[in-house]
Amino acid sequence: MKKVFSLIAITAILLVACSPNPYRKTNRLHKKQLKNYAKELRDFPVEQENLQINYGPYAVGTTNFNLRKPNYVVIHHTAQDSVRQTLNTFTIPRTQVSSHYVISDDGEVFHMLNDYFRAWHGGVGKWGNTTDLNSTSIGIELDNDGYEEFSFAQIKSLLDLLKELKEKYNIPTENFIGHSDIAPSRKVDPNPNFPWERLAEEGFGLWYDAEEVNKLQLAKDTINTQNSNIRDSLNIVRSHVSKTANDSSKFVPQNFDPLLALRIIGYDISDPEAAIKAFKLHFIQENIDAQLTDNELKVLYNLYQKYL
């Protein structure tokens, strides 16, 4: 019986080893595009005559340059049925979507594009003053239908990859973000099951200090009531806690502006409700609506201080 099992195991290994790569054809297209871009990069600064520009009499190439490096990591979920479906999607030219990495549910990492190249994963979005995240970020897609939990193996592989990327490109801790963060009116990935707090504990992204949040209190005039339009758009739910005589208590400053805090963190606040939902998807991860409760305001204030 043992011999039979051994033969089966050896046969299975041989079949896997000998099976052709299903992406041979698209890999050839990938290599062809690389050659075309490599040719462009090898072009020396302009030497030919140009009637429109008064170039100097000879070409001079600087000796001081290097490759541009990514400064952000944007994490997605695939919202597809399997990693195979996602790999197919990213290898069909007409889809016009791609990512640098795809991580399967069992933790396999597919590196689909050189980190220095621009993948098409972010789309229209904004984070802080950056409006073209595709040009400044690495995209990582996690095999997930958009609702399920992320597996242990998948998150372990993600953490291993993030550690390598952070060290290699010196990416700031706060620049590990989600697709919904940069496109709050369009995207909701990664889903609320994503372990942002664990990532922050490992140095990938910021998180609030729960103990400090619990110590905070809201003064009666914490929210700027002079601008009723902002207040109405935020739809803030709160109880107007009055300041007590306890001088040792910590209070959120009077006239604290939630919209300003969201903008300081990085969110596009042109649609306040969408910005709040994106903030809650990342940092609250329940009751993802456009309301901010007292506790959520305190969480926002604590994070605002970290991002200053």
Using CA atoms, how far residue 240 sits from 249, 254, 294, 298, in Å, is 16, 11, 9, 13
- Cβ atoms of 298 and 277 within 8 Å: the answer is no
- Cβ atoms of 259 and 234 within 8 Å: the answer is yes
- Cβ atoms of 202 and 159 within 8 Å: the answer is yes
- Rounded to 5 degrees, what are φ and ψ at 155? -70, -35
CA 65 to chain centre: 28
Nearest by Cα to 49 from 40, 61, 41, 58? 58
Which of 40, 47, 49, 141 is catalytic? The answer is: 141
Residue 261 CB coordination number (10 Å) = 21
Q: Is residue 174 among the annotated active site residues?
A: no
Using CA atoms, how far residue 34 sits from 13, 27, 65, 99, 242, in Å, is 32, 10, 21, 16, 63
Write out the catalytic residue numbers.
141
